[in-house]
Amino acid sequence: MFAPAGLTTLLFLLLSQDASGAPTTSTAVVGRSIPIRRFNPLSQNFTLVAQRAKNQRDILAVKYGDRSLQQRGTGYNLIVNQGTDTGYYGTIAIGTPPVSYDVILDTGSSDLWLTSSTCGVSCGTSPTYDPTKSSTFQNLSTPFEIQYGSGAVAGYVAEETVQMAGFSVAKQGFGVVNALSSNFNTNPVSGIMGLAWSSLSSTQQTPFWQTLASDGSWDSALFGVQLTRYGNVSGAAQNEPGGVIDMGYTNSSLYTGSIEYHNLIGAPQYWEINMTTLTVQGKSIDIAGISTAIIDTGTTNIAGPASAVASIYAQIPGSQAGTGQLAGYYTYPCSTTVNVQFNFGGNTWSMSSADFTHSQVSTTECIGAFFISSIGQGGPSWVIGDAFLKNVYSVFKYSPASVGFAALSETAIAQNGVKAAIPSPTIGAVTAATNTGVASSAMLGAVSSGPFSILLCFWLASTSIALLF
């Protein structure tokens, strides 16, 4: 996660969808998946929608605008979709004895942090981490602070035993937050799980996923993500099944055909790849010289250069540039079906017209999912978030460092809009590893005999925080 100024409204929009793929059987190390939950929007009030839109732009500016500031077996974890595709979160377990917490799953940042029991009123009503209740807690006495678009988090770095998707990492470095901007966390989310690379970590710690991918704990050194869609479902609940994150394997029941991989640009930091073409309503958008894209599960929509975004909406009759808090966004007639296609150097990937709609602000007007990036010079050209990622099975590979896309299977597509209970967090037997520090030299331990599920949730928070990460 990149830590700049504007955190308050964007954090909670991130992970959500329910996936049901069983992990593959392995005689060696294993991989598992965790279900994701999705969060529904609390309101379509115009003022609130406009504020969320502005916050999303502000957060991306601080998240990606100055890279020098951001140090930012198999298993599955079900995800929760929160706020009608606004954000997705999952569950981890931490401490001894282990206690579960809901966290945003963010491929656009690298730090794990939780709010502390000493944080007070500013940390809201979400569950907090109490280090006095764990026998494996160790305070490293290193202060840290992460600035976001409209606020900040601060605290100290510690080590703990962290479990997720049937894997356990001992001495995992993470941030214990004891100072938080007001309205940052929305119940039940207690923090963030960064899923980018260690070079971005503000706490100078190796991310949980990178320890497991580098030390042989996984069958395959990668993780896959599937996200559900509820934005076009009338009466969707605040939290819905959000999909799944598969750790150490790819779930063949959730995609068809082959996975198309694209190598990262330069040394691994963000999950950044080249984008070759972008087509809207059948017309090619000029992206020459502005074609690098970060794949970010922690961002709800899609940010791009002003010239390209203007060209996108020029293909949609009745579109208008937003003003005030909607500056950088565009409105367009809700009755218009918008066809968007991406190409990253191989297959062409279509985005559902339903995902082009960020929100509806009147009986006839909608806000589009593409908005003008305020990142500035030195940042990526594009930040591609959940509006696109709901349309593919995404894979994040450790070596060679790359991002992959595959077409969703009928099984995965059938999960969109399904009225169902959100998955519950579980704590069970795990594959153990030890994080010996920033160098990511964890060691493989005992292997469990069965899958381990962790809940992921997607939500739309009134503060729109998830849009930021």
In angstroms, the CA 466 to CA 8 distance is 9
136, 142 Cβ separation under 8 angstroms: no
417, 355 Cβ separation under 8 angstroms: no
SS3 content of the chain, % helix, strand, coil (to 5): 15, 40, 45
Length of the chain: 469
Catalytic, 111? Answer no
260, 394 Cβ separation under 8 angstroms: no
In angstroms, the CA 149 to CA 1 distance is 12
Catalytic residue among 102, 296, 355, 386: 296
In angstroms, the CA 145 to CA 38 distance is 29
In this structure, what token pair is assigned to residue 138? Answer: 């160790």
383, 64 Cβ separation under 8 angstroms: yes
**Cα–chain center distance at 345:** 23
Q: Is 258 exposed, middle or buried (0-12, 13-18, 19+ CB in 10 A)?
A: exposed
Q: Using the Cα atoms of residue 374, residue 204, residue 78 and residue 463 in order, give the sign of their dihedral.
A: negative
Catalytic residue among 106, 111, 215, 386: 106
Buried b vs exposed e over 423-444: b needs ≥16 C-beta within 10 Å?
A: bebbbeebbbbbbeeeebebeb
The dihedral over CA atoms of 154, 158, 160, 164, expressed in degrees to the nearest 10, equals 40
Cis, peptide link before residue 400, omega less than 30° from 0: yes
In angstroms, the CA 1 to CA 63 distance is 8
Catalytic, 296? Answer yes
Q: Using the Cα atoms of residue 298, residue 246, residue 195 and residue 168 in order, give the sign of their dihedral.
A: positive
Which one-letter amino acid corresponds to residue 177? Answer: V
> Angle at CA 395, nearest 5°, toward 197 and 85?
95
**Cα–chain center distance at 399:** 21
In this structure, what token pair is assigned to residue 262? Answer: 């694209």
248, 42 Cβ separation under 8 angstroms: no
Catalytic positions, written as ranges? 106, 296
